Amino acid sequence: MPRPPQNSGRPGTSLAGKTEKRLVLNVARLAAIRILNGVMTEQKQLSEMTKTDEFKALAPEDRARTQRLATHTLRHVGRADRALRPHLAKLPAVEVLNILRLGVVEIVGLGAPAHAVVNDLVSICASSSQTRPYKGLINAVLRKAVADVSGKWDKSPVQMMPKWLRNPLREAYGNGTIMAMETAHMRGAPVDLTVTSDPQSWAETLGGTVLPNGSVRLDDMGQISALPGFGDGKWWVQDAAASWPAAWLALKPGEAVLDVCAAPGGKTMQMALAGAEVTSLDISASRMERVAENLARTKLKADLVIANVLEWQDERQFDAVLLDAPCSATGTIRRHPDLPFAKDGTGISELIGLQAEMLSAAARRVKPGGRLVFCTCSLIPDEGEVQAESFLEAHKDFVVDTSVPKGMEAEWRTEEGGYRLRPDYWADRGGMDGFYIIRMNRVA
């Protein structure tokens, strides 16, 4: 019998031979469901699952669609569950529930044709011995839930953060702010670019707007590597919030700067573009390969060092040091909606301890009269404001810098002198990642 052709991507496609019948499933939906199962049942992160050979074997358009379906479903799990619950006598296994969730989100949230989606998901359900007994349930519940929720989707409450994160943040920020953050998480994240020159021209070329800090925010993402200027290294992808730490150092040509935890290299490239002599330090050899690739594409230079800053034997001191410390990454949920499901809050205390050690180690690398920027992409004050307060109490030779970086709003300044950035800021522009940033100058 001839080998069946590869999946065309059309939902519900089937192939019939003379002696057997083979169903070709929609590979993007099937892959998205497998990602949802990995996140929900094995606490795997989306970034981990998209590095598998199975995912890489998908056609580029199927990889893009898989990620879109998986991330959109993760952002709307709460809404999907509310739509499904009235039609379920009891909750089925997570693997079955994820098929239902994806169906509701794709049909109601993304506007896909209901008939095609339901038929394909029933076939996906039937393709596994674990879920096969539930194919009738998938068909009946999806049709009822979709009919019931149509026209009400946008009025349904947004996905809440998990209790391990929501409770401490509610104490720090209050209910109103938490709800605004959750709305920002649901909306997702646009693509921001740091450009090497003339932001307005690139905004016009690529279709976007220039943000107050000089980043270019795209109106439509598309395929990043196919956009003008990518191959020439004229810009790189970097959330607006993540561009402020390096900008706040206000580097001058020829100054020596150390970038600690440098991968994937956005801040290193910013500092090299300013004309500084950059030493880029990271503990991961594989992640440092990406820094090297990015520097080669942008034709910028830095000295790459693979080492742990706590054990690095080089005794040099620098005019400026930037530490983007390992953290819970809770400020990036709008672009990584898998984090609330893949993490449970364990290990944060250990991270806080590591941050304190790394901050002290970074401070020793600052020349008298030099400056130190500490930042984390976390929403948790213990990884930001509290960390900075403790450092300043223990290091009297450092004082808080009172300048306001370009585009930063003064009301974002916190009591100890840093800046608290939140995903609900710039809501009318599409938000920003959650970040904590502080600049401290060493007394000469």
Catalytic residue positions? 377
Q: Which amino acid is at 73?
A: T
Nearest Cα neighbor of 153 from 82, 60, 93 is: 82
Handedness of CA 32, 36, 42, 44 (dihedral sign): positive
Nearest Cα neighbor of 244 from 416, 435, 423 is: 435
- Please tell me the number of Cα atoms within 13 Å of 111 on its side-chain side: 1
d(CA 153, CA 84): 12
Q: What is the DSSP letter of 109?
A: I
Contact 351, 261 (CB under 8 A): no
Contact 99, 121 (CB under 8 A): yes
| Helices of type H across 150-276 | 163-173, 175-187, 199-206, 240-248, 266-273
Q: Report cis status (omega within 30 of 0) of the bond before 133.
A: no
Across 348-377, b (16+ Cβ under 10 Å) vs e yields: beebbeebeebbebbbebbeeebbbbbbbb
CA–CA–CA angle 171, 175, 179 (5° rounding): 125
Q: Measuring CA to CA, how many Å separate 376 from each of 12, 26, 379?
A: 46, 39, 9
Handedness of CA 177, 180, 182, 188 (dihedral sign): negative
d(CA 200, CA 204): 6
